[in-house]
Structure 1
Amino acid sequence: MIMIDLALFHGMFLFSLLCVQGAATIRTRGASFASSVFNLMNAIMGSGILGLAYAMAHTGIIGFCILLVGVSCLAAYSIHLLLKICDQTGERLTIDTLLNSMSSYLFILKSELPAAINSFSNSENTGGAWYEDGRLLLIIITLCIVLPLSILPKIGFLGYTSSLAFFFMVYFTVVIVVKKWSIPCPLPHNISNSSDSDCTPKLFVISSKSAYAIPTMAFSFLCHTAVLPIYCELDRPTKARMQNVTNVGISLSFLLYLISALFGYLTFYAHVESELLLSYDRYLPRDVLVMTVRLAILLSVLLTVPLIHFPARKAAILILFGGRPFSWWIHTIATLVILGVVLLMAIFVPDIRNVFGVVGSTTSSCLLFVFPGIFYLKISNQNFRSFDSIGAIFLVVFGLIVGVFSFSVIVITWVQGP
């Protein structure tokens, strides 16, 4: 999987050069600073926010805060290295979103769509209606909506929906805070085995499930594939200006992540689900705010999948077929294969924490820590004793250790069972 990710990363790297060289002559005015921050936050914040409360439940409040600060700082530093590479190579690359992220978005649709339909239908029927089967709904949604949008050669018009993503996440966070006061603690005994002792927040927690924490955080801050396109389109682009965009975007995302994770954890404590919205189904199954939050996130996720698919397909075609002229046959086959693989992953993975854990410990760790460090060491002409070279080595070593350790613990947990 790591070799595939490296190939995709390299393919996107090459594709970026071609895109920038073709677009440089027609670029007239770049995006404003505020617009760039907004776009970066849209790239940062995604389905990972749903798993952070679960991560806090299994690391403790202080442990979670320490890890979240560490991962966010390393994310900002690895972007610093990417920007230095751009300046040293004389190119501003346009690398777009990662293939593996699609599996998490489709998994959200699989797990949330049946609950959303049941909520809005106001039906008490639990007799196994077709719309209660998340896998069937996922296949229908993929064939009827995702595939037609993904197969288009240009899908730039979907960018209009990205402006809503940030407001969806703010709305999500506000609702999580408000609903903290709507669910009592201890939780109702007819629903869970909660007791008064479960209402005491834990500051530090260490268990086998703690292995999901850093991969989930890495997945949540994975925006590196969108940094360079934003850099390319930034008005008056300089490394310092783009670094400021990065720092502001990561800081605001960090704030929303921390607030939503904290209040989600303080609502359910150890009983929080690996996908936060599912926790509310047992206690507030017909709540209007929760229903609208679920719908907003589903809409955001649904329209994000084609946007992620487009650059992943371009990178794969570039790797396999080089600079050949556009072919509908190659374009269509690549679209079907990529969507088919991602759809199978989303259908057969039983728990979203496995998506966050596996993707976070492999793909996200590589893109967040390992690849920026490796490419900086390979391309940079600085001495290995320089500050950034030492930092790059640290990122590579840290990413490998975290990825291997987390993935090993996750696999062992799967083998041992519940």
Structure 2
Amino acid sequence: MGVPSDAPAGGASALSSVFTLLNSAVGAGVLSLPFAFREAGWAGCLLMTLAVAIIEAFTLYVLARYAEVTGSGTYSDLVRKMLGRKASLAMSLVLIIYSYGSATAYLIILGDCFQPMLAQTFGQVWWTERDLVIFVLATLFMLPLCFPRTLDAISGFSSVTAYALCVVVGMVMYRSLQALQAPHYKWSDVHAFTSVGSSLNALPILAFGFQCHTNLVAVFAELEEEPDLFAGGGDDASSADEEPPVTPAHPQEDDTAPGTVSEEAAAAAAPAPEAEQRVMLLHNPRRRFVRSTVRTPKLLGMVQIVSAAICLTAGFYSAVGLFGYLNFPTTAHSNILLNYSGDDRLMQMARVLMGIIQIIHYPVNHFPARNATRDLLAQLTGRQLQSSAFNSAEVLGFFVATLGLSLVITDLGQVFKLIGGSCGSFFIFGMPGAFCLQYAYSKHITAREGLQESLLADEEAREVPRPGGSQTQYHVLASKLFWAGVLLLIFAVGLLSLTIYSLVSPST
């Protein structure tokens, strides 16, 4: 039974969407950036940060572009429409596992940030024990933020993350500048580059540091129709507004010239049943999604939002990583706050702010888990679960499960790294790569039938049959997006292999 899209009506502003994506990306991983710089060297890690940021920005654009074409409201819904039901089921399971692991980590970090400070201030008494601190703070602050059904509903809290992170970055930079001015500081311990093996250890940290893919489709679905992060509108947006009325077309009847509005907008506005809308890899597609020659204002705005969120994240990470590394070039821990003395009141404030970031980050990362759970149950039962009772039950179940794990496990360590490495590589690089391969194959099949259609790349514009019946030849191996998809899949497999190697290697 098909599961219809449950994308909410757009209304979120561009600025609030930037904050939501930023909050989705910036979490516990920011504390590990100085360690990553220690592993790769300051110049090597900066170059790797730039490369990873560009790659992940591209994958975010791929997700937004396909979400627009299919009218998807969640990542799992997008996978179902593009790759089929089995792929969507796998995607939902992966998202649930990843979200549970991430949320458990936030609870553990919450205790690590507040419990030592409370114990030092009030002494080691029963109400400063780690378990009670986590339980009370999580129940009072994290749980209520999980009940809203849209990300935009907590966007105001999400903006606090950016401000708090700026202050933490400033504190780390200040302590680093103090250390650099000390007469005994050894610049010989600072390295621009390290060995290849050591540098590769930093790659998983950087890759997952930019992860906001689980919320991207939902953010795009909630976005207002004509977002503009900057003052004024662009020419592209106005030209998109002047497009002719949308009319559906069938492949066998498509004889329009470039520039004529095609099936894409109609498919997005009124999605077809799953049997018609889904495009299966290695099978002839029953329905092809043809892009318009002009990008919609919503997608143009999403490009601005993704660019701003990735640039801000890269800037924060580079500052924290570089200055934290300069302060502790040989001893930087995977949690940089552990390098500072418990008597350092400035860094105590940094711990408080990082705890606040975890409080806000928890409900934002719970959102994809709820969507994945709903999609999974809908595909298994054929029923849409949108009631308040389901929402409350899912929130309480998620909270109790993650809270229980955080009270039992004091340090996720290698277990969390394995979950993040395997699950994260799947939906950050693997699924966008599969989408690119799907597009290239669908275009290849279409070319054999006598039509050329374009979806993601402007330079691969739609071609029409030539006079006399001769067709422009196209092959899947000639597609840029095919090779982009191959590279993304290789990157996903390589990242998973690196994660597993780092877990079993005796040197780690």
Q: Which residue of structure 2 aligns with residue 58 of structure 1?
A: 39
Counterpart selection for 1:294 from 339, 351, 357: 351
Deviation at 1:204, TM superposition (A): 2.3
Identity of aligned residues (%): 22
Instruction: Determine if the alignment matches structure 1 residue 19 to structure 2 residue 6.
Output: yes
Question: Comparing both structures, which one devotes a greater share of its residues to helix?
Answer: 1
Q: Which residue of structure 2 aligns with residue 167 of structure 1?
A: 163
> Aligned letter for 2:500?
F
Q: Name the CA distance, whole Å, in 1 between partners of 2:332 and 2:399.
A: 31
Q: Which residue of structure 1 aligns with residue 191 of structure 2?
A: 202
Structure 1 segment 138-287 matched on structure 2, within 5 A: 138-147=134-143, 149-150=145-146, 157-183=153-179, 200-206=189-195, 212-232=201-221, 233-236=223-226, 237-281=297-341, 285-287=343-345
Q: Which residue of structure 1 aligns with residue 500 of structure 2?
A: 407
> Aligned letter for 1:93?
G
CA contact (8 A) 1:173 1:260 kept: yes
Q: Give CA deviations for 1:271-314 in whole Å, capped at 9, x if unaligned.
A: 111111121135xx232x32222212212211332333244134
Instruction: Determine if the alignment matches structure 1 residue 304 to structure 2 residue 361.
Output: yes
Q: Which residue of structure 2 aligns with residue 36 of structure 1?
A: 17
CA contact (8 A) 1:212 1:353 kept: no
Q: Which residue of structure 2 aligns with residue 109 of structure 1?
A: 110
Q: Name the CA distance, whole Å, in 2 between partners of 1:322 and 1:156.
A: 28
Counterpart selection for 1:354 from 396, 414, 423: 414
Deviation at 1:68, TM superposition (A): 1.3
Q: Name the CA distance, whole Å, in 2 between partners of 1:356 and 1:211.
A: 18
Q: Which residue of structure 1 aligns with residue 443 of structure 2?
A: 382
Q: Name the CA distance, whole Å, in 2 between partners of 1:281 and 1:364.
A: 33
Counterpart selection for 1:393 from 486, 494, 498: 486
In structure 2, the CA distance between the partners of 1:379 and 1:322, relative to structure 1 (3 Å rule), is farther
Q: Which runs of 5+ in 2 are unaligned?
A: 77-94, 227-296, 445-475
CA contact (8 A) 2:24 2:364 kept: no
The 10-residue stretch of structure 1 (35-44 or 257-266) with the greater mean CA deviation from structure 2: 35-44
Q: Which residue of structure 2 aligns with residue 73 of structure 1?
A: 54
> Aligned letter for 2:166?
V
CA contact (8 A) 1:55 1:213 kept: yes
Q: Which secondary structure does the structure 1 equivalent of 2:40 belong to? A: coil
Deviation at 1:149, TM superposition (A): 4.8
In structure 2, the CA distance between the partners of 1:176 and 1:231, relative to structure 1 (3 Å rule), is same
Q: Which secondary structure does the structure 1 equivalent of 2:177 belong to? A: coil
Q: Name the CA distance, whole Å, in 1 between partners of 2:321 and 2:64.
A: 30
In structure 2, the CA distance between the partners of 1:198 and 1:137, relative to structure 1 (3 Å rule), is farther
Deviation at 1:364, TM superposition (A): 2.0
Deviation at 1:44, TM superposition (A): 2.1
Q: Which secondary structure does the structure 1 equivalent of 2:219 belong to? A: helix
If the length of structure 2 is used for normalisation, what is the TM-score?
A: 0.65
Q: Which secondary structure does the structure 2 equivalent of 1:205 belong to? A: coil
Q: Which runs of 5+ in 1 are unaligned?
A: 1-13, 188-194
Q: Which residue of structure 2 aligns with residue 191 of structure 1?
A: none
Deviation at 1:108, TM superposition (A): 1.2
Deviation at 1:101, TM superposition (A): 2.4
CA contact (8 A) 2:171 2:347 kept: yes
CA contact (8 A) 1:135 1:347 kept: yes
Q: Give CA deviations for 1:193-246 in whole Å, capped at 9, x if unaligned.
A: xx9768620222348775542221122100112222332314424433322321
> Aligned letter for 1:37?
V
Deviation at 1:41, TM superposition (A): 2.1
Q: Name the CA distance, whole Å, in 2 between partners of 1:353 and 1:210.
A: 20
Deviation at 1:354, TM superposition (A): 3.5
Q: Give CA deviations for 1:135-177 in whole Å, capped at 9, x if unaligned.
A: 4422343445444554677886543211211111111111111
CA contact (8 A) 2:113 2:354 kept: no
Deviation at 1:75, TM superposition (A): 0.2
Q: Name the CA distance, whole Å, in 1 between partners of 2:104 and 2:141.
A: 16
Q: Name the CA distance, whole Å, in 2 between partners of 1:87 and 1:331.
A: 26
> Aligned letter for 1:400?
V
> Aligned letter for 2:39?
H
If the length of structure 1 is used for normalisation, what is the TM-score?
A: 0.78
Deviation at 1:185, TM superposition (A): 8.6
Deviation at 1:182, TM superposition (A): 3.4
Q: Give CA deviations for 1:82-129 in whole Å, capped at 9, x if unaligned.
A: 13323443x15344986142123122113212123245x2x5x5xx54
> Aligned letter for 1:178?
Y
In structure 2, the CA distance between the partners of 1:247 and 1:327, relative to structure 1 (3 Å rule), is closer
Q: Name the CA distance, whole Å, in 1 between partners of 2:317 and 2:352.
A: 20
Q: Which secondary structure does the structure 2 equivalent of 1:180 belong to? A: helix
Structure 1 segment 309-324 matched on structure 2, within 5 A: 309-320=366-377, 321-324=381-384
Counterpart selection for 2:133 from 133, 137, 144: 137
Deviation at 1:251, TM superposition (A): 1.5
Q: Name the CA distance, whole Å, in 2 between partners of 1:180 and 1:86.
A: 43
> Aligned letter for 1:399?
A
* CA RMSD, Structure 1 to Structure 2 (Å): 3.4
Deviation at 1:58, TM superposition (A): 1.4
Q: Name the CA distance, whole Å, in 2 between partners of 1:368 and 1:154.
A: 22
